[in-house]
Structure 1
Amino acid sequence: MSDAAVVCSHLSFAWPDDTPVFDDLSFTVATGRTGLVAPNGSGKSTLLKLIAGELKPAVASVAVGGTLGYLPQTLPLTGDPTVAEVIRAQLLRRPDVLLLDEPTNNLDLAGVGQLESALTETGAPAV
């Protein structure tokens, strides 16, 4: 994969009711910071879930260069952990590729500060 952080080839995915989301999508993301911008409902979160392995594509080859970290749009808060503790627990592995799905969507100003601090402390690159 050389300088590629993520390579997707011929990615196809449809919801259980056969509504297509992607059909034969191929792309490469180089190392470094990359942003994905598209309208709401266009499949950004679905794409990240496919790369992270949370969803299985109908057809595809997905390759990630190294250890993958994934912070979903809705934080998996169960029990008593703080936002900072949840964030630091994905980043402690020091991932080579970090997928952030609108990480500040549901955070207040203090939570955004904790996220920024955790990212700075770990030095994790974001895709």
Structure 2
Amino acid sequence: MTDLVLTDVSRWYGNVVAVNDVSMAIGPGVTGLLGPNGAGKSTLISMMAGFLEPSAGAVTLGGASVWRNVTAYKELGLVPEREVSFSYLTGRQFVAASAELHRLRDPRGATQAALEEVALVEAADRPISTYSKGMRQRAKLASALVHEPGVLLLDEPFNGVDPRQRMHLMELLTRMGEQGRTVLFSSHILEEVEHIARHVEVVVSGRHAASGDFGAIRRLMTDRPTHYTVRSSDDRRLAAALMGQPSVRSVALAAPTGTEEVHVEVTDMGDFARALPALARDAGITVRELRPTDESLESVFTYLVQS
């Protein structure tokens, strides 16, 4: 299999920069393209698929540019985030149309094989308009797989899919990666990526934030400085006790709406989680609330960019 390579790729719309100087190489196996909503993931996938021209840089497959390269589609399959436009077609008709467009020698057989691959045979002759979200996702996937591409790109494939359908899709993508295909899917949910992708590419605000083994990047996310709000039976004594903890970087007392609370910046969440109950118990303090204040994915990914 040939690698899909992005070299110094940027894309802008007037004064708005959607993707800024991104370089990465996607090879066989399953890769997760991870980042918060609005990070530029869809723009990157559109350029990888040859549907959007980079404003700068190049996207190549096997050394050849994918932009305006019709032959690249023999190796590329795309599952877009947007819904199927031809919902009046049956699932079989939709997949068969893709087989015809690829001028396959046996479009009927290829259509049947793709429907079987995604477990959509029983519903294949129903209109797509009657499908659930998960079934529509499988129809799009069958259409992308009908010509047996070596590279499969999926944009947020698990959005709106129920748990059973999600597990089926995850198993299917895992199996394709094990077969040696190059599979890249985008997601803004860490747990989705963790289940099936060992290699991840992280983007934030159009920039390439991290690349490599998911476990190593996940540890970076876990070990980042984290902010908590703590309320207790004696916030002043608790704040004084917390200042001596190795995992605590800073402590501040605040008084919203007349009641005190402690704001804590922590460098090691695990150590802090173990130390706080013991510390409060020894001091005779009751912890009434412990709330993380910067647990959004945006804050997690932004930390990676700034590291």
Task: State the TM bucket, normalised to the shorter chain.
Answer: 0.7 to 0.9
Instruction: Trace 1:21-100 onto structure 2 (pairs within 5 A).
Output: 21-65=18-62, 67-78=75-86, 79-80=88-89, 81=91, 82=128, 83=136, 84-100=138-154
Verify: 1:12 aligned to 2:2, yes or no: no
Separation in 2, partners of 1:54, 1:85:
20
SS in 2 for 1:85: helix
Offset from partner CA, 1:55-75 (integer Å, 9 cap, x none): 111122111246011101123
From the superposition, tell whether residues 116 and 88 of structure 1 become closer, same or farther in structure 2 (CA, over 3 Å): farther
Which residue does the alignment assign to 1:126?
Answer: 183
Q: Post-superposition shift, 1:26? A: 1.6
Q: Please report the TM-score for the alignment, with normalisation by the length of structure 2.
A: 0.35
| CA distance in 1 between partners of 2:165 and 2:80 (Å) | 15
Q: Report deviation, 1:118.
A: 6.6
Q: How far off its partner does 1:8 sit?
A: 0.8
**Aligned partners of 2:144 and 2:152 also within 8 Å:** no
Give the C-alpha shift of residue 114 in structure 1: 6.7
Query: Which one is further off, 38-47 or 83-92?
Result: 83-92
The 8 Å contact of residues 11 and 26 in structure 1, kept in 2 or not, is answered as yes
Contact 1:69/1:91 (8 A) holds in 2: yes
User: How big is each residue's C-alpha offset from its partner over 1:75-113, in whole Å with a ceiling of 9 and x where there is no partner?
Assistant: 324123332433212111111110111112133456547
Asked if the contact 1:87/1:115 (under 8 Å) is kept, the reply is no
The structure-2 alpha-carbon separation of the partners of 1:108 and 1:77, relative to structure 1 and needing over 3 Å to count, comes to farther
Q: Which amino acid aligns with 1:71?
A: V
TM-score by length of 1: 0.77
Q: Secondary structure at the match of 2:24?
A: strand
Q: CA deviation at 1:29?
A: 1.7
**Count of residue pairs brought into register by the alignment:** 123
Change (3 A) 1:85 1:25: closer
Q: Which range moves more in the overlay, 27-36 or 106-115?
A: 106-115
Deviates more, 1:95-104 or 1:111-120: 111-120
Identity %: 31
Q: 1:100 to 1:38 in 2, by over 3 A?
A: same
Distance 2:55 2:44 in 1: 13
Contact 2:27 2:182 in 1 (8 A): no
Please identify the structure whose Cα radius of gyration is greater.
Answer: 2
Task: Mark the CA change 1:88 to 1:118 in structure 2 (over 3 Å): closer, same or farther.
Answer: farther
Q: CA deviation at 1:23?
A: 2.8
CA displacement at 1:5 relative to structure 2: 2.2
**Aligned 8 A contact 1:96 1:125 in 2:** yes
Q: Does 1:102 align with 2:100?
A: no
**The 10-residue stretch of structure 1 (38-47 or 102-111) with the greater mean CA deviation from structure 2:** 102-111
Q: Say what the alpha-carbon RMSD is for the aligned residues.
A: 2.6
- Opposite residue 101 of structure 1, the aligned amino acid is D
